[in-house]
Structure 1
């Protein structure tokens, strides 16, 4: 599997692995699609851990499907992708932020943020398994 899609219908976060000669991915393409928003950014891996912490982030939520207090956050090493997860009203809300940094001529790039709502049971467990497989 070289991609996973988190969300439903026309609103989702799709992660596509950029393979490295059969080994773990060197980067992910993160695509956020919402009703009035479409954004994508390449996410670099951490040289020591790859994307293992992202897989663990989703596994932890699948294990805690009955709920947790507060907001849990995962952010890529360079800050291109940030995911804030909260459990509200029997659902999991993922606030996804994509950033593209450009430091030329005073242009700082762009930021896109949107919310996805997913079911805490099977949908969240499936996402956790697919991300584990995707990130190797």
Structure 2
């Protein structure tokens, strides 16, 4: 599957037009669904990445019931002069995280929310 990923934050705009995700045993929707299901929290950091590592998502759980997924773009990770950009989005561990997971699933698979 090929798709574009864009990160935006104050003072930052980064885009990779050709992210490739091979759907093997664990795709992004499975990862986000697992984060949403663990709304009571977990210790440490959880992570997911595309096979080429041009898109990675890591997530931590913080007190107050918030999940912080950090979205990192790193196109051409082995190329000299490559770049990296990251944005963290803080979401409520329950409904907001479940909503994000549903929206990403709909985008990637066409399944209804």
Scaled by the length of structure 1, what TM-score is found? 0.70
Partner of 1:79: 53
What secondary structure does 1:30 align onto? strand
Q: Is residue 39 from structure 1 mapped to residue 14 from structure 2 by the alignment?
A: yes
Residue deviations 1:78-114, cap 9 Å, x none?
Answer: 111111101012211112210121877xx33211122
Partner of 1:5: none
Structure 1 distance, partners of 2:71, 2:36, is 18
Greater strand content = 1
Change (3 A) 1:28 1:51: farther
- The question of whether the paired residues in 1 share the 8 Å contact of 2:53 and 2:77 is answered with no
Unaligned runs of 5+ in 1: 1-25
Scaled by the length of structure 2, what TM-score is found? 0.84
Structure 1 distance, partners of 2:78, 2:26, is 29
Residues 1-136 of structure 1: matches in 2 within 5 Å?
Answer: 26-41=1-16, 42-46=18-22, 49=23, 53-89=27-63, 90-101=65-76, 107-136=80-109
What secondary structure does 1:78 align onto? coil
Residue deviations 1:10-55, cap 9 Å, x none?
Answer: xxxxxxxxxxxxxxxx212111111121111131021xx2696100
Runs of 4+ in structure 1 deviating by more than 3 angstroms, as ranges, are none
Unaligned runs of 5+ in 2: none
- Report which structure shows greater RCO (CA 8 Å, sep ≥6): 1
**What's the Cα RMSD here?**
2.0
